[in-house]
Amino acid sequence: MKVLIIEDAPTLAMTYKAYLSDIADDIIIAGTASAGMEAAYEHLPDVIVTDVNLPDMSGLEVLRTVKAEKLPIETVVVTGNGSINLAVEAMREGAFDFIVKPMSADRLRVTVRNAAERRILTKTVETIQDQFSDDRFCDFTGRSLPMQAVYQILRSAAHSKATVFVTGESGTGK
């Protein structure tokens, strides 16, 4: 798993890195939101852990940018000045979770691991949807569930040298 930490306090960034070092393969640290977004585009992490109060822009802006650009990244928002309104806003903007500082190592690990697992599940669902969202197959047209099943059977049989016997009622276009 690849994690991007956007935190302007170097000691906190190193602490978060130490917390996550046993569950993440690659941890990138950025001290500003703009540097963090550059790193996000370059490395495409699974999870971003961002502070709200950054020197150049809010961590919520990072969250909005990730959402607007449709980047396949889960975002965890961290702040030392947590309020219910800020937490609600972060969650509405698409944050995976909202954590108030100080936090335990376990809290951060569990949250980041869950965010990464959600990202994996989302990728899996998107892959399955792509496989079953055909509205055309060769010269066939149709998106209904029965037609999706037919397309899947055709894909399976197409690579085989086996003889295929098609049956059905008269007039169905076999």
Predicted local confidence at residue 148, as pLDDT: 76
| Span 5-25, pLDDT tens digits | 999 999 999 999 999 999 999
Q: What is the pLDDT of residues 87-110, one digit of tens each?
A: 999 999 999 999 999 999 999 999
CB atoms within 10 A of CB 66: 22
Q: Provide the token pair at 20.
A: 């996550």
Angle in degrees, CA 149, 128, 141, rounded to 5? 40
DSSP 29: E
pLDDT value of position 137 = 67
Question: Is it the case that residue 156 has pLDDT exceeding 90?
Answer: no
Where is 105: in which H helix or E strand?
helix 105-131
Contact 62, 48 (CB under 8 A): yes
Query: Is the pTM here over 0.85, yes or no?
Result: no
Q: What is the mean pLDDT of residues 13-42?
A: 96
Give me the amino acid identity at 6: I
